[in-house]
Structures are given as C-alpha cells and as structure tokens.
Amino acid sequence: EPEVTQTPSHQVTQMGQEVILRCVPISNHLYFYWYRQILGQKVEFLVSFYNNEISEKSEIFDDQFSVERPDGSNFTLKIRSTKLEDSAMYFCASSEAVGYTFGSGTRLTVV
C-alpha cells in the first residue's frame, strides 16, 4: 500500500536554529498538508498546499514557517528560527481528493 514517508523520525535542535522537515507524499496525490501535535494535545492544522501554492494556512503558520515542493517528489516544512514551543510531532499528509494518508511523523524537540 502506498505510504507517505517523513524524515527524520526524530530531530533535536537548538532554539533559534532552522529546521527542515521532509516528506515524500504518495506519487499521484495532488494535495499536501502539514499538521502538528504538541504532546498530549490535539492535532492542529498548519497548512495545505496545492498546485505549488498555499491553499490555506492557520494562525500557527506565521512568518517563521514556510513550505516548499522543491521537486516532483518532496514536500518540506521549514521553521526558520525555532522556539521551545515548536516542540511537537509534525505530520505530513497527502490526498488525491478526499481522505488523507498521513506519514508517521517527525518528532521535533527544541532545546
């Protein structure tokens, strides 16, 4: 069964550093998403991406965040200057139309 692949599975970074989280969506999917889940809390929407542009973003997705589809297969989330409160599990998802397939997540720890 096709999968959404996320790398790395766990990243530790110093506060103020830039991080890039990587995702390889399912190949024929057209819609891409990032969500995050702070430990013990609900899953929160960050951004959706279609046709090489952002379709929608949440209030969380401020100027410190950006997304990119640098080639035909990768979809990345960049956090420019990480804060302690960015520590969370970050999930990438893709879809063809309705219904998502999620990746297994990247656990980001900001120290």
Partner 1 sequence: SQQGEEDPQALSIQEGENATMNCSYKTSINNLQWYRQNSGRGLVHLILIRSNEREKHSGRLRVTLDTSKKSSSLLITASRAADTASYFCASDPPGTYKYIFGTGTRLKVLA
Q: Which residues bind partner 1 (CB under 8 A)?
A: 31, 33, 35, 42-45, 48, 50, 55-56, 58, 89, 91, 98-105, 107
Q: DSSP letters of 6-71? A: EE-SEEEE-TT--EEEEEE--TT--EEEEEEE-TTS-EEEEEEEETTEEEEE-TT--TTEEEE--S
- Assess contact for 48 and 56: CB atoms under 8 A: yes
In the complex, the smallest distance separating the C-beta of residue 79 from partner 1, rounded to whole angstroms, is 19
The smaller minimum CB distance to partner 1, of residues 45 and 65, is found at 45
Closest approach of partner 1 to the CB of residue 41, in Å: 8
Q: Which is nearer to partner 1, 32 or 82 (CB)?
A: 32
